[in-house]
Structure 1
Amino acid sequence: MQRQQTLSGRQKAAVLLIALGQDVAASVFQRLSQEEVEQLTFEIANVSKVNLESREAILDEFRSLAMAREYIQTGGIDYARNVLEQALGTREAEDVLSRLTSALQVRPFHFARKADPNQLLGFIQDEHPQTVALVLSFLESEQAAMILSALQPDLQADVARRIATMKGTSPDVIAEVEDILESKLSTMTSIDSAQAGGIEAVVDILNGVDRSTEKTILEQLSVKDPELVEEIKKRMFVFEDIILLDSRAIQRVIRDADPRDLQLALKVARDDVKEVIFSNMSNRMSESFQEDMEYMGPVRLRDVEDPQQRIVGVIRHLEELGEIVISRGGGDDIIV
């Protein structure tokens, strides 16, 4: 037990991923930044033997924290405290909740994420674009996409630009906007500071809007900030997303893409990506491709990034021409 108590949070995470198995760890890595992946990989590589008692304690700690988060999302902190006290006892329940306090305090607008998008739209559509951008930054991407789709076209682009270029917001400003919106929605929350916005936030939102709304926003943004638009486009569809295309679209991409680019891109691709690509080739072509890839030998990750990006460019070009369709959300759920 002493061993487990002396481990850092990162070391505990490494032990947890080892205990949960390779498939779960790989799935978790896909949701982390490159820096986080590197840090955890280092810890996993350096984990020495952990006794069974310490491993079980780490698993129990993770389970308790996960339970607490679920209870809080279901019925708030008081509900979570009552349920945890019944399950774990008063002292351990307070310990679990105290460890979650800092994480909970960086999640503004928790109450708004439970609200109906139509209701939120009515409250924020006449606010200053910066205020609208701030609120959308903290909502679930699907929820924010529905609201963004319903705004006036000129306001859509302005709000998207403000989300993408948002660096950080004063806790006082966040608290003030929260109080106003909370009052209108007649709900309660208690959060004091956070970091929101950025390229990834606007990409998540745009991935959820319909194609027409996305095109309008990007066209208007390109007038004011073409470099920002290019960065957004790069992140909206990545090479691995090719598995989301239907067979006809994948076959068209295979035909239009440079074979050498495709071979390099597949060299480090996930197995499911390779399987989808090869299954849409003839047997002869698939065998030839795989033989050529073997002859390449090892390649560096950075040597395949440009080929993958060029293939993404082919996909987006085909979509713009109407030759293929990239599946998106936001179709029937747009607010009108």
Structure 2
Amino acid sequence: MGLPTPDLSGKQKAAVLLVSLGPEIAAQIYRHLRDEEIETLTREIANTSHVRADVRDTVLNEFYEMYIAREYVEQGGIDYARELLEKALGAARAEAILSRLASTITTRPFSVARKTDPGQLLNFIQNEHPQTIALILAYLNPEQAGMILSALPPETQVDVAKRVALLDRTTPEILKEIEETLEQRLSAFAVEDYTMAGGIDTAVEILSMVDRATEKTIIDALEEEDPELAESILKRMFVFEDIVTLDDRSIQKVLREVDTKDLALALKTASEDVAGRIYRNMSKRAADMLKEDIEFMGPVRLRDIEEAQQKVVATIRRLEEAGEIIISRGGEDEVVV
């Protein structure tokens, strides 16, 4: 592929990016894509036999600029992003970057709410219908939403958590109505564009920020009301890559409980950070043997790897339930004694 980047399609640039990032990171990115997207990118990568250094550097730089610009937009809107980009790159470059983003940018609603103290925000929304509360929480930062969810009555917690998990798309009319109501209460609230929020991943992010007792109350109730939804949430509550958040003693307990074959399979596509934490908590001989098992394993279906990782995660959750290990919930005020 010897074309300058202006002549590359978006798919070709994505292929160059994945090739440049390497197989491990590319594999992690694949996990978040749909099957048809994976097929398209794989086809492009297969046709990318050689990438010139200047093309690679230009694509990586363009990706970085787009990423930073999107972060600025998320933080304070288009005008805020333009101001920062102009200071850093000049007016012409800033305008070019924002123009490329224009077709994909959807600024998130409730930007003022995200800057509001959770306790104050709770006073505004706690008497609203659970569906309204769920919609608002879906647009907040997970830790902020988790604090508000924890402060709601237990019966409301369950209802709201379930509604967050089942949220998909919200019509512009409903979103606008809720925004205008909050605008009156919080003042200076700008109505943003239609966007997507909610879903199981959002519910998981919020539940990951609440205390263990609140999480258990909500999950137990969901298991009675909607077992399939509860199972979907539980599968995402602690993912395999989160092993790096465990302390060494907890990892050692997990390793004693996990089948070696499952562990080898689970580490097949693991990041260097995860694999490193695992190996450091094993004897050198055991770590060397595990590395050999992985090396001589040969091609393995991604589905089998994910199943093995789920077995490891299930073991971790079982040990946490028994009080043998502690999973950090991500909040700043967590105390361990």
TM-based fold match above 0.5:
yes
Q: 1:141: which partner in 2?
A: 142
* Distance in structure 2 (CA, Å) of the matches to 1:179 and 1:286: 58
The 1:249–1:272 alpha-carbon spacing in structure 2 relative to 1, beyond 3 Å, is same
For residue 62 of structure 1, report the CA deviation from its aligned partner. Answer: 4.4
Q: 1:29: which partner in 2?
A: 29
For residue 200 of structure 1, report the CA deviation from its aligned partner. Answer: 0.8
1:65-115 CA deviation, whole Å, 9 max, x = no partner? Answer: 455445545654334445556666666654543443444435222232222
For residue 129 of structure 1, report the CA deviation from its aligned partner. Answer: 0.3
Q: Say whether the 8 Å CA contact 1:106–1:192 is kept in structure 2.
A: yes
For residue 177 of structure 1, report the CA deviation from its aligned partner. Answer: 0.8
* Distance in structure 1 (CA, Å) of the matches to 2:194 and 2:14: 25
> What residue identity is the alignment partner of 1:307?
A
Q: 2:101: which partner in 1?
A: 100
Q: Does 1:175 align with 2:176?
A: yes
For residue 193 of structure 1, report the CA deviation from its aligned partner. Answer: 0.8
Residue correspondence of structure 1 range 191-270 to structure 2 within 5 A: 191-270=192-271
Q: 2:117: which partner in 1?
A: 116
For residue 143 of structure 1, report the CA deviation from its aligned partner. Answer: 1.6
Residue correspondence of structure 1 range 295-334 to structure 2 within 5 A: 296-330=297-331, 332=333
The 1:321–1:301 alpha-carbon spacing in structure 2 relative to 1, beyond 3 Å, is same
> What residue identity is the alignment partner of 1:277?
I
The 1:172–1:194 alpha-carbon spacing in structure 2 relative to 1, beyond 3 Å, is same
Q: Say whether the 8 Å CA contact 1:84–1:93 is kept in structure 2.
A: yes
Q: Say whether the 8 Å CA contact 2:19–2:26 is kept in structure 1.
A: no
* Distance in structure 1 (CA, Å) of the matches to 2:256 and 2:270: 19
Q: Say whether the 8 Å CA contact 2:74–2:107 is kept in structure 1.
A: no
The 1:136–1:294 alpha-carbon spacing in structure 2 relative to 1, beyond 3 Å, is same
* Distance in structure 2 (CA, Å) of the matches to 1:86 and 1:289: 51
Q: Say whether the 8 Å CA contact 1:133–1:163 is kept in structure 2.
A: yes
For residue 313 of structure 1, report the CA deviation from its aligned partner. Answer: 1.5
- Which deviates further from its counterpart, 287-296 or 21-30? 21-30
Q: Higher relative contact order at CA 8 Å, sep ≥6: structure 1 or structure 2?
A: 1
Question: Unmatched 5+ residue regions in structure 2?
Answer: none
For residue 168 of structure 1, report the CA deviation from its aligned partner. Answer: 1.6
For residue 324 of structure 1, report the CA deviation from its aligned partner. Answer: 1.1
Question: Unmatched 5+ residue regions in structure 1?
Answer: none
Q: 2:154: which partner in 1?
A: 153
* Distance in structure 2 (CA, Å) of the matches to 1:145 and 1:174: 21
Q: Say whether the 8 Å CA contact 2:110–2:189 is kept in structure 1.
A: no
* Distance in structure 1 (CA, Å) of the matches to 2:54 and 2:299: 41
The 1:120–1:28 alpha-carbon spacing in structure 2 relative to 1, beyond 3 Å, is farther
- Which deviates further from its counterpart, 272-281 or 312-321? 272-281
1:210-242 CA deviation, whole Å, 9 max, x = no partner? Answer: 111111110111111111111111111122322
The 1:94–1:227 alpha-carbon spacing in structure 2 relative to 1, beyond 3 Å, is same
Q: Say whether the 8 Å CA contact 2:24–2:269 is kept in structure 1.
A: no
Q: Say whether the 8 Å CA contact 1:146–1:333 is kept in structure 2.
A: no
Q: 2:273: which partner in 1?
A: 272
Task: Compute the RMSD of aligned alpha carbons.
Answer: 3.4
SS at match of 2:111: coil
> What residue identity is the alignment partner of 2:325?
I
The 1:295–1:54 alpha-carbon spacing in structure 2 relative to 1, beyond 3 Å, is closer
Q: Say whether the 8 Å CA contact 2:135–2:198 is kept in structure 1.
A: yes
- Which deviates further from its counterpart, 262-271 or 90-99? 90-99
Percent identity over paired residues: 54
- Which deviates further from its counterpart, 148-157 or 51-60? 51-60
Q: Say whether the 8 Å CA contact 1:164–1:197 is kept in structure 2.
A: yes
* Distance in structure 1 (CA, Å) of the matches to 2:290 and 2:83: 60
Q: 2:128: which partner in 1?
A: 127
* Distance in structure 2 (CA, Å) of the matches to 1:59 and 1:269: 24
For residue 286 of structure 1, report the CA deviation from its aligned partner. Answer: 3.2
- Which deviates further from its counterpart, 53-62 or 247-256? 53-62
The 1:141–1:46 alpha-carbon spacing in structure 2 relative to 1, beyond 3 Å, is farther
The 1:11–1:80 alpha-carbon spacing in structure 2 relative to 1, beyond 3 Å, is same
* Distance in structure 2 (CA, Å) of the matches to 1:53 and 1:224: 56
Q: Say whether the 8 Å CA contact 1:146–1:330 is kept in structure 2.
A: no
The 1:53–1:301 alpha-carbon spacing in structure 2 relative to 1, beyond 3 Å, is closer
